[in-house]
Amino acid sequence: MERVLLASVFARPAFGPNCPLSGSGLGLPLTKAIPWQSWGGNSPRHPARGLPRVLAIDAPRSEGPAVALTILGVSALFTGGVPEGQVLGHWRLTFADGRTEEHSLRMGVHAAEATHLEPRSLVTDDGVKVRTVGVMDVGGEAVRLDLFDIPLHRPGHLRSLAFHVEEAGASFLWCDVFVAVEQPIVCPFRGQGGRVSIEEIATIVRQRDPVRLERALEQFSQGVLRSSNLDEAKGLSLLFLGAISAALLETGAPRSLHLIQLQAARELDEQSSKEEVNASAMKWIRGVLEGLLEPLNRTPDPIQQATRIINENLAEDIDDSELAQRVGLSTSHFRAKFRAQMGQPVARYIMAMRLERANEMLKTGGMPVHCV
């Protein structure tokens, strides 16, 4: 099993402050979108009086059970007069089997007046980890941004989740909500979510497509490192090398390629860790591919350049206009070419890569969600 971080999508207001964090230092694929803000009290003069009391979210689809929530936001505003220990709001989770569970946020425990900028870092009695990760501007006033890691009482397949604000009078702003799930480790070449399938390898090699080939190599490397055991890593390496070799033989490569496969198999069998398997396999794979893409690489493909820029700067703010300028295309031409070549818009590709990077940090580093 592997722990995967899934972003939740929820309705946001048309106007409001933007989250200033880019994800740098957090490793989270933050949206930087306008946060949802809750109702804050009954007083006619209360600045958050007309806002909603409930944030309803359909749980992101997953193949495994949810084990935790990771939430970025402001907790909380307008808390004057609220006593310590008072419940300000709660997260209610509904599972596929009909079970529900709640996680309350209490004044002075999970939440504290957000205009008090002193950083927080604590683990509450109920296991919630809270730490301050930044500051944002709300209505001309600096407020504290906190990251919450909330472990679930019992893992389960989530159907929905919702945040309910209580009558105490405090207001919350939620920037991003992530669900951590445990799901089976699957073949990295299932061909879902924009990934390259193993059946596409032959076409990629025949067409000498450097962008998709590099993507396939990255998928392969990540798959080896995420394998559940050493034998699985070696088997995946031989499968991928075999697919590459078969495609090359179809394009007229010499039959001596079979001997290279045998030599690679013997070397892989001697490796004692997934990292060693990955390094050995990549050496053999790049060896058999040497020169295949050289004619294309003399004139760098602009979309290949763009994907490289994106992957090297995932923690930074990047948009299609900047990318177009850096690869020498007009913005409109770049957008159309990127969608045609990558099968998705630039923004969606960036979000997918950020999610993938965050998941890798969780899995390969053995780090809990709140530390990523």
**241-280 pLDDT tens trace:** 988 888 888 887 787 788 888 899 999 999 998 889 988 9
* Half-sphere exposure at residue 113, Cβ-oriented, CA atoms within 13 angstroms: 10
What does each of the 372 residues of the chain score in pLDDT, given as a tens digit?
A: 667 788 898 999 888 888 877 655 677 778 878 999 998 877 666 777 789 999 999 998 887 899 999 999 999 898 888 899 999 999 999 999 999 999 999 999 999 999 999 999 999 999 999 999 999 998 889 999 999 999 999 999 999 999 999 987 789 999 999 999 987 665 666 655 556 777 888 888 887 777 778 878 888 887 888 787 899 889 989 988 988 888 888 887 787 788 888 899 999 999 998 889 988 998 888 888 875 544 444 456 788 888 888 887 777 778 888 888 888 788 888 888 888 888 888 888 888 787 777 766 665 554 444 444
pLDDT confidence of residue 300: 62
- Residue ranges and CATH numbers for the domains of the chain are 2-183 (2.60.120), 198-296 (no CATH), 300-371 (1.10.10.60)
Could you report the per-residue pLDDT of 74-108, keeping only the tens digit for each? Answer: 998 988 888 999 999 999 999 999 999 999 999 99
Cα–Cα nearest to 12, from 35, 32, 42? 35
pLDDT confidence of residue 295: 44
Rounded CA gap, 72 and 7, in Å? 12
Cα–Cα nearest to 99, from 51, 158, 17, 162? 158
Cα–Cα nearest to 178, from 193, 196, 164, 158? 158
Whether 241 and 220 have beta carbons less than 8 Å apart is answered as no
Rounded CA gap, 89 and 109, in Å? 12
Orientation of helix 331-342 relative to helix 320-327, angle to 10°: 100
Rounded CA gap, 314 and 357, in Å? 8
Which tokens belong to 201? 């390898």
**Within 10 A of 199 (CB to CB), how many other CB atoms are there?**
10
Rounded CA gap, 306 and 323, in Å? 6
- Render 23-62 in DSSP notation, one character per residue: STTT------PPPEE----S-TT-TTTTS-SEEEEEPPP-
Cα–Cα nearest to 345, from 356, 358, 336? 336
Q: What are phi and psi of 222, to 5 degrees?
A: -65, -40
